[in-house]
Structures are given as C-alpha cells and as structure tokens.
Structure 1
Amino acid sequence: MIDSASSGHWEHIVEVSELPQSFDFVTTRCSIGPVLVTRDAAGALHVLSNTCPHQRATVCREPAGRAERFECPNHYWLFAPDGRFLGSRLSVASGRAATDDPSKNLARADVTVTDGWVMARFR
C-alpha cells in the first residue's frame, strides 16, 4: 500500500552507476519507505516497494548485490526483479506456476533516468 500523501512526485533514488549489470540491486529508502532498485535480465531498471504485500515484511535485507529473484523471509514468497510474484519457494521448486495476481506483486514506481540518477514516482 502506497501512502497517497507521499506519492505522485518524482524523486532521486540512487545513482544509476550503482546498478551497472543485469540482476544488480540496491536497497534504500525514499518518501514511501524502503525500496528495492533492480535491473532485470534485459537491463531495465525497476524501483519496487521493499515490503511484501502479504504480511508487510522487508523482502530484501541486503544493502546491494546481484539476484535473479527475491524471497520474503516470512513465508518464502518469491519475486522477480520487476516485482512480479512468482509463487512460494516450495511451489516454484515443485514446478508449479503462480497464477497472475497483481495484488501479490511488489508495488512498482514509474522509473526514468535523469542526469545519472534513477528517478521514481509511485502513484
């Protein structure tokens, strides 16, 4: 859930140089709280709420690194670098595909790069 009082404006999140390769990530804070900044396999940038929609746990607790997916520590929900819910660790390991349910995705911001900065706007 995004607080509407702090949403709708563009803000500087991180310098784009902090994410030089696919699957790089950085965690930080902005006006909506903790965020996860990622690059997906194609190199696209994403700014995501770093809070699981299920029980509000912090999804990624590392400050930076490389990851092809992110796992919530509460119930092992898995998320793609673009914030899509992939299923639980057990369901993915058994080969079951999650049904498309946008309410289970991490909240996503609009993203642009300006003057070397990743800029985000949550709506």
Structure 2
Amino acid sequence: MRINLNNPKKILFAPLDWGLGHASRCIPLIKECLALGHQVIIAGNHTVSALLRPEFPQLQFLELKGYEVKYAKQKWALPFLMMKQIPSILSVIRFERKWLDNVVTEWAMRYSDFR
C-alpha cells in the first residue's frame, strides 16, 4: 500500500509476540515508512521492544500486553496446549481492542502483523 508522500501519516506498528518473526518482518516496513516521511510508533511487550528498540532507538514505543503463548515440547501436545490457552488469548484480544480504541484516535494506519 502506497501512502501519499505529500501527506505524511502517523502509523502504529504492533507486531504479534508469538516468536520474533512477526517483529522482524516489520523492520523493512518501518524503514520504508520512515524513508517516506511518516511518523512511526511501535507498540509491543518486552519481547518486541527488545528486538525493535535497538533497531529504531529514535522511535516512540508504547507498552502493549503480549500473548505470551507457550509452545509444547512434543509436536503431538501442541493442539492441546493451544486449546488450554484459548481463554487467556481471548482475554488479550479483548484488552487489545479496548487499548486500541483508547490510544489510537487519530492514526492514519495500523499495522499489526496478525495482532
């Protein structure tokens, strides 16, 4: 998606914290947005911040509760462990929606990478 260069936007990046892949995929997107003159703010928990803050020390970071999903050691156990975590996952989803409504009022764009 290209955004008009003559009209810089405020863009929130809030990558999912289920591993570092989501946050690392945001790095080139954030760099491109900054190169185009947009204001970028990053939201995430300590895991996301630990990866992205050294890469973008000049940016504002907002604390956003993570899912902190646990993975099974044995492949066969993963579906059962994921089902066990469904209530806490749904709780975080509800929290995120309220958080987003309260924090983000004048943003042009949100990029969540599955969040």
Q: TM class by shorter-chain length?
A: under 0.3
User: Which structure's residues are more often helix, by fraction?
Assistant: 2
Larger Rg: 2
User: Which structure's residues are more often strand, by fraction?
Assistant: 1
Bigger RCO (CA 8 Å, 6+ sep) = 2
TM-score by length of 1: 0.26
TM-score by length of 2: 0.27
